[in-house]
Amino acid sequence: MTPKTKPPDAFSPGQTPTFEVSARESLRDAQLRRNLGKATQTIRRKRTVAVEEMPDWEELREAGRALKERTLRHLDKYLLQLEESVTRAGGVVHWARDADEANRIIAGIAREKGAEEVVKVKSIATDETKLNEHLEAQGIHAFETDLAELIIQLAGENSSHILVPAIHKNRAEIRELFLRELDVEELSDEPKDLTNAARLYLRKKFLGAKVGISGANFAVAETGTVSVVESEGNGRMCTTLPPVLVTLMGIEKIIPAWRDFEIFMQLLPRSSTAERMNPYTSFWTGVSGEAGDGPQEFHLVLLDNGRTDVLADEIGRQTLNCIRCSACLNVCPVYERTGGHAYNSVYPGPIGAILTPQLVGIGKPGSDSLPYASSLCGACYQVCPVKINIPEVLVHLRGKVVRHKQDKGTLRQKLDPENAAMQAMARTFSDPKLYERAQRLARVGQLPFARGGRITSLPGRLAGWTAVRDLKPIPEQSFREWWKEERG
Amino acid sequence: MANMRVALFITCFNDTLFPETGRATVGVLERLGHEVVFPEAQTCCGQMHFNTGYQREAIPLVRRFVEIFEPYDAVVAPSGSCVGMVRDLYPMAADLAEDDDLARRIEDLAPKVFELSEFLVKRLGVTDVGAYYPHRVTYHPTCHSLRMLKVGEAPLELLRNVRGMDLVELGEAEQCCGFGGTFAVKNAETSAAMLGDKIRRVLDTEAEVCAAGDNSCLMHIGGGLRRLQAGVDTVHLAEILHSTEER
Amino acid sequence: MATAKETILWRVRRATRDVPEGERPEDVRVERGYRKEGDGARDDIVARFAEHVAEYEATVHRVAEDGLPARIAQILQKRGLEILVVPPLLPEAWIPEGVEVLRDAAGPRLTNEELDEAGGVLTGCALGIAQTGTIVLDAGPGQGRRALTLLPDYHLCVVREEQVVDLVPEAFAKLEETVRGEGRAVTFISGPSATSDIELNRVEGVHGPRALEVLIVG
């Protein structure tokens, strides 16, 4: 397999295009639209069934939210407790301020073990840090073992969904890719055959790997137990077979106690794959020592990389509740049409639209456009198993983006016509006399555009509206004029 | 329910573009025996500014709104979206202004501000307003009435009691139409893609009229329908409820 | 220079300055209003367990205690299994004649290659969860280390009726002692390995055992 370079995203150096620009490309792709529409509609229906089966779903959501709030408000204590528990259980804890530090720690461990290949179970945190690229540069090849991750790794593409990274690809496209990259002679486009081809290809890698790399869904401060929630068994392979296991986790993934799993292991599977329970969940506590069960060496890398900035924002903080279920993607009408690539981030969809700009910081045109990639319809908040009020955070971040432009932006940003128009309108709305005059002026101003009772073409920034819709002209009499006339 | 004095929060959008919706709202409330007043100092609740990120600019508008409407026992608007702004986002505006007094006043005012259908059904307990509307109608539940205000079945209960009307269910009704305020301009292509699917669902119903509780969404859906010469009208819920056999 | 640990902790504390000085974690209220224990009858719980396991495309059998060894032998024979992996402390009576048995033991452990080539594994379990159709392994007696139930392509698991709990919280309560004490690894298994990565079509059998068969005894 030849290593392919993935396109840059919000976490790569340099700039990314805005959502509007990238979405345009995705929207034109009929195949993608069909793949996405079919997939999201299916999973939405299934999730509804899985959730309706639970009479105490709302109580679970509230408990999950509250527990995350407790954890985040006292994160320093829980981090120290986790370090102590993992160490007591025979593991080694590392701290990484940023992506680069995390990558150096992990590459250092792999090099020390003389590993030229490592096996990896799907971890978005490692996508965020660009670990694979870092390892490759040091001559260490990382094999992605989750089927969808393998597909996009072979294709040299970015993930387009948190849970199903290759959701944008259909079976025919995957068949072609496997024929080309996996050295197989014959292959049908049946998902079963495609899956089997991946199984055979990866089995050898699992048995030979000296180092396994994983992310973590949860880590328990009280016991040091780390867990990986998965379906295919590649997570079990990576966390069990290689003699050395390295787990990278964001510092927000902590839960206080073992018993707290009773909440999250009910919320997560039903919200993500719409199953009562996912096929496999591994819970391990350090190393097993003499029992010889699993790796002899376990390293846990705790990653900040912007998370403490999210924590510092009292409204944004709830973003760190996220358990990466992807329910918000599946219900999002924007995501359903544009897919994940338009977000130019390893975290796409509604959660990505609030997490990405907070992690990388406000002031970058690409990620600053993400809070605007929403009609604020609120479907995401309704399904979020840990009650992240995504619309609220979106609006909050829009405020931060605008204030950043106004206060710290370039001269061009300050002279932005949108800014000027908004200022003028705010002044107009603050005085009924100005407001009434503006209503009259607008009625006159529209005359050049109104034809036969409709407006079909507007200039400048408003042209987007009339590209596909007519605009109703402003009527002769406003409501307040009528009121004054009739009741005044 | 004793007769009430109701302050009409017309919203700048309806005031300027859809005065007929305002007249219908007044008409329905008066027909039910309530007194409607129109505080003429009102302009805009600040939603467009706030949701687009111009939040410092919205704060004076929030203050104005609170001052103008806090004397009333009930404030009613024919818009789920603008009511949602007051109830859900005004507290955030007060936080941003670091104004505790404003926050307290918002807390008092917010529960008294209603969207029309929730006011009729939940506050007044009325589900039959004596309307007559002999058309085939489908109803689009707008996102903010549905998910911010949680008006639930209220609009449908009202519509089911309208005589002469053939109410047909809209497929994937709860999906957003793609309006989203400035979203429709900033992300015009994505908005259009969402609109396309909504229009397809509307046409599937073979209705003559698509109704909703927000003229903003209706202007977007209606603009698309008219561009396609689809022959389907968009009408605000208030206008249907105001319609009787006599007029 | 500050270490990464010091820096991160400092950042966390600065970020949570809004939290009052004297607030303890337990001061943040967590309302646990969800169900902790089911109230169903024993028979219903076991029946629900069987039903939910079967919905994951696992094969489920119910058998009386005295018929268990014969049933195991019959199932393995029908499958044509030649090499069977057996964990330490599995009841001897369960192990049928006529198959080659590979015993994992503390001394000479089976290699991953041996496990990979074996056709199947026979184990007991720690618990079953009716609500979700989940089998829980905790590396205890008759279950063995994790690789044993991972590399062979077929897993036959014996669950005793009294091991089945109704709801998920009951399972975590029962496992607490094992995790806090010995820190043994716990694995939740809900059906055979599966993926929905291709067009969200579920395919059973990816990297873990492609077939799961469950014997409920009682």
Judge: A435–B178 Cβ closer than 8 Å, yes or no.
Answer: no
Domains along chain C with CATH numbers? 37-217 (3.40.50.10420)
Asked if residue A10 and residue A108 are part of one domain, the reply reads yes
- Report the alpha-carbon distance of residue C138 to residue C155 in Å, rounded: 16
In 3D space, the residue among A299, A302, A318 whose CA is nearest the CA of residue A310 turns out to be: A318
Asked if residue A307 and residue A235 are part of one domain, the reply reads yes
B191: chain A residues, CB-CB within 8 Å: 375, 464
- Give the residue from A363, A382, A415 where a domain finishes: A415
% of chain A exceeding 70 in pLDDT: 99
Contacts by C90-93, CB closer than 8 A, 24 or more apart? C90/C122, C90/C123, C90/C124, C90/C141, C90/C142, C91/C124, C91/C142, C93/C68, C93/C69
What average pLDDT is seen over chain A?
94
| Confidence band for A319, pLDDT divided at 50, 70 and 90 | very high
Domain parsing of chain B, residue ranges = 5-123, 136-242
- Report the alpha-carbon distance of residue B143 to residue B176 in Å, rounded: 6
- Report the alpha-carbon distance of residue A441 to residue B23 in Å, rounded: 23
- Give the residue from A359, A389, A415 where a domain finishes: A415
B18 in Cβ contact with B215 (< 8 Å): yes
- Report the alpha-carbon distance of residue C132 to residue C45 in Å, rounded: 11
ipTM above 0.95, yes or no: yes
Split into its structural domains, chain A has a count of 2
- Report the alpha-carbon distance of residue A159 to residue A253 in Å, rounded: 21
Pick the CATH number of B136-242 from 1.10.10, 2.20.220, 3.40.50, 2.40.50: 3.40.50
For C174, name the nearest residue in chain A, comparing CA atoms only.
A259
Which amino acid type is present at position B17?
A: L
- Chains touching chain C through at least 3 C-beta pairs below 8 angstroms are A
Asked if residue A313 and residue A198 are part of one domain, the reply reads yes
Which amino acid type is present at position B192?
A: A
- Chains touching chain A through at least 3 C-beta pairs below 8 angstroms are B, C
- Report the alpha-carbon distance of residue C25 to residue C20 in Å, rounded: 11
Angle at C171 between CA C170 and CA C173, to 5 degrees: 65
Asked if residue A443 and residue A398 are part of one domain, the reply reads no
CB-based contact (8 Å) between C110 and chain A? no
B212 in Cβ contact with B139 (< 8 Å): yes
* pLDDT tens-digit series, residues C45-90: 999 999 999 999 999 999 999 999 999 999 999 999 999 999 999 9
Task: For residue A257, give the CATH number of its domain.
Answer: 3.40.50.10420
Residue appearing with tokens 């967590």:
C30
Task: For residue A146, give its domain range.
Answer: 1-415
Q: Give every CB contact of residue B141 below 8 A, 6+ residues apart in sequence.
A: B151, B155, B173, B174, B212, B213
Instruction: List the single best residue of B11, B35, B186, B225 to mutate versus A (max A Cβ within 10 A).
Output: B186
User: C130 by DSSP, 3-state: which?
Assistant: coil
- Report the alpha-carbon distance of residue B164 to residue B133 in Å, rounded: 6
In 3D space, the residue among A213, A211, A298, A304 whose CA is nearest the CA of residue A254 turns out to be: A304
* pLDDT tens-digit series, residues A426-465: 999 999 999 999 999 988 888 887 777 788 888 887 888 8
Instruction: List the single best residue of A455, A469, A474 to mutate versus B (max B Cβ within 10 A).
Output: A469
Q: In this predicted structure, what is the pLDDT of residue A462?
A: 83
* Backbone φ, ψ for residue A471 (5° rounding): -120, 135
* pLDDT tens-digit series, residues B162-202: 999 999 999 999 999 999 999 999 999 999 999 999 999 99
Asked if residue A240 and residue A375 are part of one domain, the reply reads yes
Judge: C194–A89 Cβ closer than 8 Å, yes or no.
Answer: no
User: Looking at the partner chain, which of A426, A470, A478 has a beta carbon nearest the beta carbon of B19?
Assistant: A478
- Give the residue from A393, A415, A437 where a domain finishes: A415
Asked if residue A457 and residue A342 are part of one domain, the reply reads no
* pLDDT tens-digit series, residues B219-241: 999 999 999 999 999 999 999 99
Is it the case that residue A325 has pLDDT exceeding 80?
yes
User: Looking at the partner chain, which of C16, C185, C192 has a beta carbon nearest the beta carbon of A311?
Assistant: C16
Number of neighbours of residue A1 by Cβ within 10 angstroms:
12
B52 in Cβ contact with B181 (< 8 Å): yes
Angle at C78 between CA A191 and CA C153, to 5 degrees: 40
For A40, name the nearest residue in chain C, comparing CA atoms only.
C200
